[in-house]
Structure 1
């Protein structure tokens, strides 16, 4: 029953984000049922069941006849907060949820459903500006919290210059350079993505610390040099094994001697039987991408060794976008 009705929870959650419920209740505001119905412009009957459902999911708390944000919602679901997660919820609701209705078609054809490979170079192309804006908002949502978890788990004090390959909106460098003030960073991504990244960097007040380089890490013969740590966060699962192995070779060539590579992912176990978040993200790759899949920790360890890295090891932590990092040295 939990498996069957899982979409009830998601669509309740997505509706709350779409209506701006948690932002309306920011900073301890509490509302009655009638006030919520009026604020959200929904029918009182629906409001009664809707608020009860949100409370049952741990998103709201009820005190007497008033509802307020739970601590979880206050931290992650109020727009403008550092780790606002609503962007990812909206992305999944508007883009991925409709495509998942036809997941069997994707499995039979081995073709993504959220974009057309016949007319677009990749899922990251800029043909649909509105959807791309939603996509990068979603990636920033999930990456900012994951970056904080990585910063807690791995000590970047020994590093000076970070290259974030496919760094998107710059969430990881923004978090890491804020935490480790001696660190500078470069985000390598497609030119149209770098425009967005520069806006995020400026908003964080880190223009002097983080820069961007436009490029295509698949097509370019080499990566920028002069870095003692390279980050691949939620990148390798987007591509097939051959592309991943080639990128690791480029990373090793670009790194300074003694430098470190950090692969941050939802890692499958060696048997490829879980954990569920990693395995289900792999299912999402069927819907979203041509060659992507979630790989096991042992596969990454093998790839790194084959690429000439030494001392490959696993660092485990718990975050929205990753359950660990695979780390190795040049």
Structure 2
């Protein structure tokens, strides 16, 4: 995939109506049918979608305006849209989540900016990310948790390479990924480094879903899961020369983030490396935000710049502290630091 895969995908989420039209086209089978090379008229497409011809034409007009389809002896897919279809899982994941959380932004925009506790109490997105459902492995908890784990796994699939290409793991043998979700980040690290073993530390339900995920890949046998909850008195397992946090620390207040980093530094092997791969703050004073940013906008109060992590790591005695910025669908940064040999 091109390195600017997020830019390619996000152009089809420029506005809410164009994104909702595209999601409908996926759901009603239009995209699959047209991707086969067929060119179809309005009558055929309306029958396929079980909608009136007038409604089908309105959806097709929206898709034409956004560069998804073109009418040339029947409707077909625009060739450039094929690039976005190469990352179809990312495109559909972003469409799903944007359409899911948009009502929260519509209805609670003022609270999002002025009263975060009220926003969290009323926004339905936080009903999706229920960590209390991740403690007991039951059929219901697995099904409910699978919805957001699948989404974050898809994001990580495309985000992780940007960090791993910058992270030197050539001499590393054992990675601990804290809050590592489905193990996708750890799996990709192992795929790049054949001698690397990885442990993912996360809540029990997430670990069970992760085992199912990494089991699909050849390197999955080198990714193991350890169930735990770092919020309490738990300590992290020792014996790892790399410890990573990928899209974890922004979820937590500063005191929790500092405590988690303290436990990581304590568990890290001497001369080991610690890595933090996180979203930065969203710049609102540049180009107008598109609908593609709605999934990130609901977490606006929680994103932070790396200063907290840099200060914390320095206070914990870490050395060689560095930060590198990159642009995906929003600003990301990679913080790296090394524990003294003794």
What TM-score comes out, normalization by structure 1 length?
0.80
Summarize deviations over 1:208-262 as a string: whole Å, max 9, x none: 2111111112224311111111111110110100000111111101111111111
Does the Cα contact within 8 Å between 1:75 and 1:84 map onto a contact in 2?
no
Q: Give 1:154-173 correspondences, 5 Å limit.
A: 154-173=167-186
Which of 93, 108, 116 aligns to 1:87? It is 93
Cα RMSD of the aligned pairs, angstroms, is: 3.3
User: 2:115 maps to which residue?
Assistant: 108
State the shift of 1:129 in Å: 5.1
Structure 2 counterpart SS, 1:110: helix
What TM-score comes out, normalization by structure 2 length?
0.77
Alpha-carbon distance change, 108 to 161 in structure 1, aligned in 2, over 3 angstroms: same
State the shift of 1:99 in Å: 2.5
User: 1:300 maps to which residue?
Assistant: 309
Structure 1 counterpart SS, 2:303: coil
Alpha-carbon distance change, 247 to 72 in structure 1, aligned in 2, over 3 angstroms: same
- 2:235 aligned with 1:228, yes or no? no
- 2:291 aligned with 1:285, yes or no? no
Higher helix content, 1 or 2: 2
Alpha-carbon distance change, 130 to 18 in structure 1, aligned in 2, over 3 angstroms: farther
Alpha-carbon distance change, 245 to 128 in structure 1, aligned in 2, over 3 angstroms: same
Which of 154, 160, 180 aligns to 1:141? It is 154
Distance 1:218 1:109 in 2: 21
Alpha-carbon distance change, 304 to 14 in structure 1, aligned in 2, over 3 angstroms: farther
Does the Cα contact within 8 Å between 1:233 and 1:265 map onto a contact in 2?
yes
User: 2:16 maps to which residue?
Assistant: 7
- 2:206 aligned with 1:199, yes or no? no
Does the Cα contact within 8 Å between 1:140 and 1:171 map onto a contact in 2?
yes
Distance 1:245 1:169 in 2: 24
User: 1:32 maps to which residue?
Assistant: 40
Moved more, 175-184 or 42-51: 42-51
Q: Structure 2: state its 5+ residue gaps.
A: 1-13
Summarize deviations over 1:179-204 as a string: whole Å, max 9, x none: 22222211111011111100001112
Structure 1 counterpart SS, 2:271: strand
Alpha-carbon distance change, 274 to 248 in structure 1, aligned in 2, over 3 angstroms: farther
Alpha-carbon distance change, 231 to 32 in structure 1, aligned in 2, over 3 angstroms: same
State the shift of 1:308 in Å: 2.4
State the shift of 1:135 in Å: 0.9
Larger radius of gyration: 2
State the shift of 1:44 in Å: 2.7
Which of 73, 78, 96 aligns to 2:84? It is 73
Summarize deviations over 1:249-305 as a string: whole Å, max 9, x none: 111011111111111111238x9978979x97774137xxxxx71111333322221
State the shift of 1:105 in Å: 4.1
Does the Cα contact within 8 Å between 2:181 and 2:202 map onto a contact in 1?
yes
Distance 1:272 1:255 in 2: 37
User: 1:80 maps to which residue?
Assistant: none
Q: Structure 1: state its 5+ residue gaps.
A: 78-82, 287-291
Does the Cα contact within 8 Å between 1:169 and 1:196 map onto a contact in 2?
yes
